[in-house]
Homo-oligomer: A and B are copies of this chain.
Amino acid sequence: MTPADQTPREDPSTITSQPRPATTGTRATSGRRSEAARLAVLNAADDLLVEHGFEALTIEGIAAAAGVAKQTIYRWWKSKVDILFDNLVLDAETALAWPEPADLRAYVHRYARFLAEQPAGQVLLALLGHAQLDRRTAELLHDGFLDGLRARDVTQVRELLGLDEEAAAVLLDALLAPLYHRVLVLRRPLDTDFVTAVLDTTLDQHLPR
């Protein structure tokens, strides 16, 4: 196992992660990995992606912006995709958490806001785009994030509405497909009215009173 594989990538069936060893606090410079460097890289990559886009994002640029040596990046990540992926997993954990108490309509609205407005949403869209162009990215994104996210959501919907797995998956897809379609294909804004309309139409149809 090469060092680049040691980046903690948790169980794909969940998106909870990072039991980071609770470093002392600031500069954990030693024989072990520097938390400061890790965070600097993740943040620099995020900032540069939002500011200049995926194409203009380079390892050299990230290294320079993070004040880190290029080799420090290559030691822990294989590519800029891996860096963005780590960012995605990190941020999605909170940004895509289910509301308490569980509420499907609120969750879909939160999902829409995540896709349309939040930096981590930008990261997901960029990775989804790149996944169309690169098999490795597609596998990483699905095995490491999307599949686990969907499994979690299907379970939630099942418990919430008392559906079987098949029906819950169909309902979830029916709710999310218009969202993804609107941002990925139509490139139109995911305003609240649209999400509400999707919810009304779809829930009426799947959950007749």
- On A, residues with C-beta under 8 Å from B are 53-55, 125-126, 128-135, 138, 142, 146, 173-174, 176-178, 180-182, 184-187, 201, 205
A132 interface neighbour in B128, B178, B201, Cβ under 8 Å? B128
Contacts of A178 in B (CB 8 A): 173-174, 177
User: What CA separation (Å) do A73 and B53 show in the bound complex?
Assistant: 26
Contact of A54 among B54, B133, B201 (CB under 8 A): B133
Which chain B residues lie closer than 8 Å to A55 at the CB level? 133-134
A187 engages B129 (CB within 8 Å): no
Contact call A53/B181, Cβ cutoff below 8 A: no
Q: Which B residues touch A142, using CB under 8 A?
A: 187
**Shortest CB–CB separation between residue A116 and chain B, in angstroms?**
13
- Contacts A54-B134, A55-B133, A126-B132 known; list 11 others, CB within 8 Å: A55-B134, A128-B185, A129-B132, A129-B133, A132-B184, A146-B186, A173-B178, A177-B177, A177-B178, A180-B181, A181-B181
